[in-house]
Structure 1
Amino acid sequence: MLPITLTIAGSDSGGGAGIQADLKTFQELKTFGTSVLTAVTAQNTYGVQAVYALPEDFIVEQLQSIQSDFNVNALKTGMLFSASIIEAVSKQLENVQAPIIVDPVMIAKGGATLLQQEAVDAMITHLFPLATVLTPNIPEAETLTGMKIQTYDDVEQVAKKLLAMGPEVIVMKGGHFAPEQQAAIDHIFFKNGDKLTLSAPRVQTKDTHGTGCTYSAALTAFLAKGLPMKEALIEAKRFIHAAISHGLGIGHGHGPTNHFAYNTKAKVEVEIIE
């Protein structure tokens, strides 16, 4: 049976991030993508010019519509924008049995704030206890914990603090960490004490718009297809590395990643360090 995926996120009118990136990724990985829109943006590769959040009642209606008809195999959340939206969405997800991947989207590549400050507490209180996987980048992890990350020990301590908030798996994405290194290294921590480190060559490019959305969407799709957690994490790393490595050259700012690349380009091997 065709796996069904769901994204609960904002729209990117430029097509590189948000709902658009998620649905493209779901399609490339041969899952049927459904969506719940939380906000619309006026956005391009230069940045976000405006954000309009949808009423939480309408967001809930969208989600209830999906839940009443589709057997969703895995879902992800992206930009949720406000505390009231986070609380409304979390309430609807309380009895969901499928994996829930939370991408705590806070700031766009152009620097625009995509999550209101008071929403951080709501996310920690209401959404994180429901999360199967949390996928913060380094700035997001610092904001969520109030801790500074400069060394690997800092990465581990922050991950432990995030695990204590409820998620089963924390993916500390390596794009912002140690940029002088030749590799982009993701450090992954499991509630049961397991660790997994995934390394791929760092790509020097400005075309990284939507990387977080795309990575979490790929992980959602692989889990929906029934891959075990560690295998899904490895394949999601391969997907996003291919997408970054083969930029499309679109736009004049931070261009989008290439959602086609995983299926059309030669795959670069991801080094697995357990």
Structure 2
Amino acid sequence: MEQSKNPTSIKTVLSIAGFDNIAGAGLQADIKTISAIGCYATTIITSLPVQNTTGVKAVFPIPDVAIEEQLNCVFDDVYPDAIKIGMIANSKQVDIISRILENYKGPIVVDPVMLSSSGHQLQDEETIAECIRKLYPLATLVTPNLDEAAALTGMSVKNLQDMELAIDILLTKGLHAVLLKGGHLPDDTLSSLLKTNTSDSIAFKTQRIDTRNTRGTGCTLSAAIASYLALGQSLTTAVKGGIEFVHQSIVAAKDFQIGKGNGPLNHFFNPIPLK
């Protein structure tokens, strides 16, 4: 009889996010990303947006009690090595998630999903305010894009100088670290800035790729960073790896034809097996 091997401790990443019918963003993008990087994904669903590659048609929040019960159920069985948080539907969900994660021991990456790429409002002002007050201060890293940074700071963010100022404002609100994504700038070279409350900003640059297949880039980036943190990397190294993962996923999908709008990335350009 073949002798069984010793159990292997697999790194797990919990995604708390919304659903995507096209499976290019939200929970499904997170699962693909976490799996491709060699971690195991667990999930909490917060909302059911009705959407395709052309946009969001409607949003149905998951009942608040189901959020709490899902979290307790997962934590009772599989304590995550890192957590990624995406779309949260309302202020009550923010309260529940923040309360349960208050004593969590591990890195948390929050992608502040406020608007869909098609412009659909996904969070109201009360929910945003509760995130700033209760959730973002618990996070190891918050990863807004330019529009989200503008909503969080009340200022226009149009260039690198604006990005630096916006990050400083966010850090005064109790955040520990911010990665401000510059993908919406009109430049061929994309610049994202990372700054913590104890270090100067670091710029990460990639070249813009001529493609419409950019669905779920923010979800993918935050999930990738959480995965690399779960694997024990430093914040700077995890951010660098996450940005490179997104870039290569876009490169590998640039000629795909999936849907009539913004198509998904190719998360499995170089998958790493669980081990």
Q: TM-score, normalised by structure 1?
A: 0.93
Deviations along 1:199-258, whole A, 9 cap, x unmatched?
111112211111100000000100001111111111101100011222232111011111
Q: Deviations over 1:28-85 (max 9, x none)?
A: 0111100001011211101111211011111010001111111211001100021111
Q: CA deviation at 1:190?
A: 1.3
Task: Give the aligned partner of residue 6 of structure 2.
Answer: none
Q: Which has the higher contact order (CA 8 A, sep 6+)?
A: 2
Cα drift, residue 262 of structure 1: 4.6
Matches within 5 A, 1:181-260: 181-247=187-253, 248-260=256-268
Q: Say if 2:38 and 2:271, in contact at 8 Å, map to a contact too.
A: no
TM-score (normalised: structure 2): 0.92
Q: Residue 194 of structure 1 aligns to a residue in which SS?
A: strand
Structure 2: which 5+ residue stretches go unaligned? Answer: 1-8
Native 8 Å contact 1:142 1:148 kept in 2: yes
Specify the alignment match of 2:4 in structure 1: none
CA displacement at 1:98 relative to structure 2: 0.6
Cα displacement (A) at 1:176: 0.8
Q: Is the deviation greater in 67-76 or in 110-119?
A: 110-119
1:51 to 59, 62, 67: 59
Amino acid of the structure 1 residue aligned with 2:76: S
Tell me what 1:153 maps to: 161
Alignment correspondent of 2:25: 17
Partner of residue 268, structure 1: none
Code of the residue aligned with 1:121 in structure 2: it is A
The structure 1 residue matched to 2:126, chosen from 91, 94, 118, is 118
Structure 2 CA distance, aligned partners of 1:153 and 1:201?
Answer: 20
Where structure 1 has 5 or more consecutive residues not aligned to the other structure, the ranges are: 265-274
Q: Structure 1 56/186 Cα, relative in aligned 2: closer, same or farther at 3 Å?
A: same
1:75-105 residue CA offsets vs partner (Å, 9 max, x unmatched) = 0110002111111111111001110101000
The amino acid of 1:163's aligned partner reads: L
- What is the SS of the residue equivalent to 1:144? helix
1:158 alignment partner AA: A
More off after superposition, 80-89 vs 212-221: 80-89
Write the distance in 1 (CA, Å) between the matches of 2:116 and 2:66.
24
Q: Which amino acid aligns with 2:218?
A: G
User: Aligned letter for 1:212?
Assistant: G
Any idea what SS the aligned residue of 1:166 has? coil
Deviation at 1:164, TM superposition (A): 1.7
Percent identical among aligned pairs is 37
2-structure distance, mates of 1:173, 1:57: 33
**Superposition RMSD in Å:** 1.3
The structure 1 segments of at least 4 consecutive aligned residues displaced by more than 3 Å after TM superposition are none
- Aligned equivalent of 2:91: 83
Question: Secondary structure of the residue that 1:114 maps to in structure 2?
Answer: coil
